[in-house]
A and B are shown apart, each in its own frame.
Chain A
Amino acid sequence: MQVKLKVFRFNPQTNKQPHYEYFTVEAKPTERVLDCLNKIRWEQDGSLAYRMSCGHGICGSDGMTINNVSALACQKLVQNYEASKEIVVEPLSVFPIVKDLVVDLEPFFEREKSVHPSAGIVLTEAEGYGENLQTPDQRAQFDDDIKCIMCACCVSACPISQKEDPAYVGPAAIVRAHRYIFDSRIKNELERLAIMDKPHGARTCKGYFKCTQVCPKGIQITKHIFEVKRRILDELHPKQ
């Protein structure tokens, strides 16, 4: 079938303003939006810029805004948009646009990094040279977090990151922090909680659930943020 795409274009070297261009490609309903973009780049316009790598929702490269929703282009199929007359593809919001669908993710990765205390990841010490023991239940506390592929879709969809507080550390970084805070093997939990307790930290979240709605890995982000908030209260600000 013929698929019509309306694609955000911006080349800072030649354009003052961004604009949209229309492309029509031949694609099966079961093909990915990413396949459509590849057809554009490989067959029609070699200058179209977007990132990709794994092609199946496991590397986090191709987060973008598709019909107004943050998503991975490799996880959305043409048939998901059959009801709309065109597929509108734009860069992720929140981040500075570099070229076409490519945004500057440095701020995102900086915040992921900021969840680590200076001592890093410090584990309790196993006896001898064995593994640290952990029960399946303890391990389950953070099983959801380790699905994260750092695609930044959640941050891009969060109203706080978008407008209210651009300095907000953002949902993905809190998921990362949750992964370590709720890991029974890891010792320096309080330091990490203190980082999350800082201004623009976890307590900034107002529970809009937008992040959870878009997460391509189905992580219950808001729930985990609230678990972190709760833990901050219990551990750092206990009831007198």
Chain B
Amino acid sequence: MIHQYDVVIVGAGIAGLTAGLQASETCKVAVISKVYAPRSHSGSAQGGMAAALGNEEDDCWEWHMFDTVKGGDYLVDQDMAEILAREAPERVIELEHLGVPFSRNEAGKIEQRRFGGHTRNLGEAPVKRSCYASDRTGRVIMDTLYDNCLVRGVKIYNEVFVMSLLISKGKCCGVSGYALATGEPIVFHAKAVLLATGGCGRIFKTTSMSFAATGDGFAAAFNAGVALEDMEFVQFHPTGIYGLGILVSEAARAEGGILRNGKGDRFMERYASTLKDLAPRDIISRAILTEIAEGRGVEGSDYVYLDLSHLRKAMQEQKLSEVTSFVKTYLGIDATKDPIPVAPTCHYMMGGVPTDAQGRVLADGKTQSLPGLYAAGECACVSVHGANRLGTNSLVDLVVFGKRAGKDISNYVKENPLQLFPTDAESAVATKIDSLLASTGNERMGEIRSEMQRTMTQQCSVFRDNNNLKQALNKIRQLKNRFGNIGLTSKGKAFNYELEDALELENMLNLAEIIVFCALQRQESRGSHYRNDYPERDDAGWLKHTLAAKVQNGLQINYKHVTVTRFEPKARVY
């Protein structure tokens, strides 16, 4: 089936809905999601959204910008961080005007709380900058945007899996994929396409991300010839519930929660004497794993404790109700009494599809545009997060750059005609699906997936080195070969989730290879990327973005400069 719209947006998370709502003022918009739109991953964001509103104490956008740049270990493009910090307050107010129910302070204004790495006056002390709604900030923002989209007539296609971007005469003119319910091809012909497909945490064994976070948007762009930027920078959040990876929001430490090792020591005092438990995530994740490696995990095991038992008030006020209910459900723990066992969990992709400030995709990552193609949200790399994203800086990125993309798309649609469209779009999908359904190889997907996840977690996560990365690269390449010999056991077309699993696994294997490959090249330690064999940051050699593109026989790596405006790189001490 072929649908025609002015713009199609792939992804119904906060980035996609923000752009869709904006573009719907002048265009006919379709939003596509492989899960039901309100199931999108943005709904799990708990902690909040950073904006220097100054509702609780003095704050200003320059401080927010500085924290973002320093948090990202100076790999941030500072012109973009400036846009982020400057426009954040306006976007929060706009969300409030759309109906988002932020929590309130006594003055009736949007309440704000502390969050990791956000400080007053260029690093002096933590500042209250995170706007939040209990501990379900993402859920309420997404629901409000969704309700507004419905009312404004944005058409939402649920359970459609997008496989490829359609390119004709050097312009993007739509997407193709299939309907999960029928297994039949479905093609969207449009003047503009926005990718807002989120991250790919499922490449790793332990992740806070949803099962749908398989990076299909990164893969679609990469396959269409777009170079991916900074893919080696993967954030591990320090406090995943041990064994499960489910997130205990940083809000827990923002409200006063304390990390303790097996001896009961507040070890973060030794790693970040000013911000302690509210230091940026990369630093805390390394601290936890160092404690564990040096034998100070809890009972000799590979986790530490997050102690919230002194926070009864915050809990009573429902500020942490999701957190307390997760640990109750999954661990049988009463957080008002007992500490929570935690360990780092894969949480966020700093890298992604390179864009300019208007969300326009840069095909070579530098200057070459791909008209009609946009990206926003976690799948994009503007780059405001650099080598490590600060908590609450994703939601603000989604709305600031989602909105900008929506606006630019409106203009683009006005000025450009529909492109002619590849005639084989549907048949290409059908061929791919039929060949997977007909596959009879003896490799099982479950095995390949768990081996990929194990490899990435053991050899390419918080601590990395040359040997491990080389081994991981070989292993992932072997797995890619083995994937060529899989056999699907389920042959039907309707709701064949095995088919979806196969398409996702293929994407994840490609991304895993890119992540490892880029990590292997970067011979320094910066933000989330830590090399045991190169433990120092090396600005002379490596203050540059990685770009990984597909070439005939593999991957080609390029680099581009980092934009530095206000803040010269300095040592990163907290």
Contact = CB atoms under 8 A, between A and B. Distances in A.
Q: Do A and B bind each other?
A: yes
B36 A61 contact: yes
A59 B101 contact: no
A198 interface: no
Contact of A53 (B35, B99, B110, B496): B35
Interface stretch (B169-177, B224-232, B322-330, B400-408): B322-330
Most buried by A among B144, B152, B490, B495: B495
Interface string B283-303: 000000000000000000000
B99 A61 contact: no
Interface residues of B, number: 64
Contacts, number: 162
Interface string B481-517: 0000000111011111110010000000000000000
A134 B104 contact: yes
Contacts of B123: none
A54 B210 CA distance: 4
Interface in A179-210: 179-180, 183, 185-186
A11 B329 contact: no
B492 A41 contact: no
Nearest to A117: B151
Contact of B148 (A61, A120, A138): A120
Nearest to B491: A47
A49 B497 contact: yes
B139 A133 contact: no
B446 interface: yes
Contacts of B492: 11, 13-14, 47
A136 B96 contact: no
Contacts of B490: 45-47
A105 B210 contact: no
Nearest to B150: A113
Contact of B106 (A48, A126, A136): A136
B84 to A, nearest CB: 19
A147 B446 CA distance: 34
A218 B325 CA distance: 10
Contacts of A131: 93, 96-97, 102, 109-110
Contacts of A45: 489-490
B133 to A, nearest CB: 7
B211 A52 contact: yes
Contacts of B101: 139, 142, 146, 179, 183
Contact of B495 (A42, A49, A116): A49
A121 B144 CA distance: 9
Q: Chain A interface residue count: which class? A: 35 or more
A53 B181 contact: no
Interface in A99-149: 99-100, 102, 105, 109, 113, 116, 118, 120-121, 123, 126, 129-136, 138-139, 142-143, 146-147, 149
A69 interface: no
B136 A146 contact: yes
A98 B495 contact: yes
A51 interface: yes
A60 B136 CA distance: 14
Nearest to B138: A58
B445 interface: yes
A12 interface: yes
A45 B134 CA distance: 41
A223 to B, nearest CB: 16
B96 to A, nearest CB: 5
Given A49-B495, A61-B39, A105-B36, A135 B104 contact: yes
A14 B162 CA distance: 27
Contact of A121 (B148, B326, B329, B493): B148
Interface string B195-227: 000000000000000111000000000000000
B98 interface: yes
Nearest to B34: A53
A116 B496 CA distance: 34
Nearest to A55: B211
B531 interface: no
A135 B35 contact: no
A190 B38 CA distance: 27
B318 interface: yes
A47 B501 CA distance: 11
Interface in B317-346: 318, 322, 325-326, 329-331
Nearest to B499: A46
B257 interface: no
Contacts of A12: 494
A230 interface: no
Contacts of A135: 104, 106, 108
A150 B38 contact: yes
Interface string B134-166: 101001100110011011100000000000000
B442 interface: no
A84 B148 CA distance: 45
16 contacts: A54-B41, A58-B44, A59-B39, A59-B210, A61-B35, A99-B494, A120-B151, A120-B152, A121-B98, A130-B93, A131-B109, A132-B97, A133-B104, A143-B134, A179-B101, A186-B99
Given A46-B488, A46-B501, A149-B38, 16 more contacts: A45-B490, A54-B43, A58-B43, A59-B210, A61-B36, A102-B495, A116-B147, A116-B151, A120-B148, A131-B110, A134-B104, A136-B106, A142-B101, A143-B134, A147-B136, A185-B99
Q: Please list the 10 inter-chain residue pairs (A to B) with the smallest Cβ-Cβ separation, ordered nearest first.
A: A120-B151, A133-B108, A47-B490, A46-B498, A42-B446, A46-B490, A59-B39, A49-B495, A46-B489, A54-B210
